[in-house]
């Protein structure tokens, strides 16, 4: 049995565990993409779409929640202003749109920073989790649509 067989066997726990780990790590500050593995597993077709959607959403949401927690580790009052363009943009979005900006937490690079800034700004954790999960779930749902028809 080779590595390809581990991913192509129906309901292989290796495949969905890899999807969970990849989705989790992709939502942190690590430069990974969960879409490639997600779409590959959808294309193989040995897994129910709803199951892969659920695994990817849970993993990616937990990664975003990790970023929220990391943001809360920073001191509440920082005297210096953000210096990088990404931090400036994310801070403005959080101040302007609040929780709604976390609907974009799935967007590469800026999404991670949005979650960290939301944590640093001490936004309500339950609302943050709701909006970031909604954004990530919607992204995976949109990616899944071609596999429903």
Q: Looking at residue 127, what is its pLDDT? A: 97
Domain extent for 112: 3-147
d(CA 58, CA 20): 8
Angstrom distance (rounded) from CA 96 to CA 101 = 9
Pairwise CA distance, residues 124 & 65, whole Å: 12
Mean pLDDT of 129-145: 97
Structure tokens at 141: 């749902």
Whether residue 79 has pLDDT greater than 60: no
Give the residue-averaged pLDDT of 82-90.
Answer: 77
- What are the pLDDT digits (tens) for 2-20? 566 666 666 678 888 999 9
Give the number of domains in the chain: 1
């Amino acid at each position: 049995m080779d590595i390809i067989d581990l991913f192509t066997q129906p309901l292989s726990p290796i495949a969905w565990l890899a999807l969970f780990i990849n989705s989790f790590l992709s939502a942190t500050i690590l430069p990974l993409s969960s879409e490639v593995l997600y779409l590959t597993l959808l294309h193989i077709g040995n897994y129910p779409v709803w199951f892969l959607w659920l695994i990817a959403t849970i993993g990616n949401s937990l990664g975003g929640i990790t970023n929220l927690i990391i943001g809360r580790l920073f001191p509440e009052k920082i005297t210096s202003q953000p210096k990088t363009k990404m931090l400036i943009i994310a801070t403005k979005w959080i101040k302007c749109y609040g929780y709604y900006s976390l609907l974009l937490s799935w967007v590469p690079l800026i999404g991670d920073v949005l979650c960290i800034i939301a944590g640093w700004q001490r936004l309500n954790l339950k609302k943050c989790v709701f909006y970031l999960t909604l954004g990530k779930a919607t992204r995976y749902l949109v990616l899944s649509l071609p596999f429903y028809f």
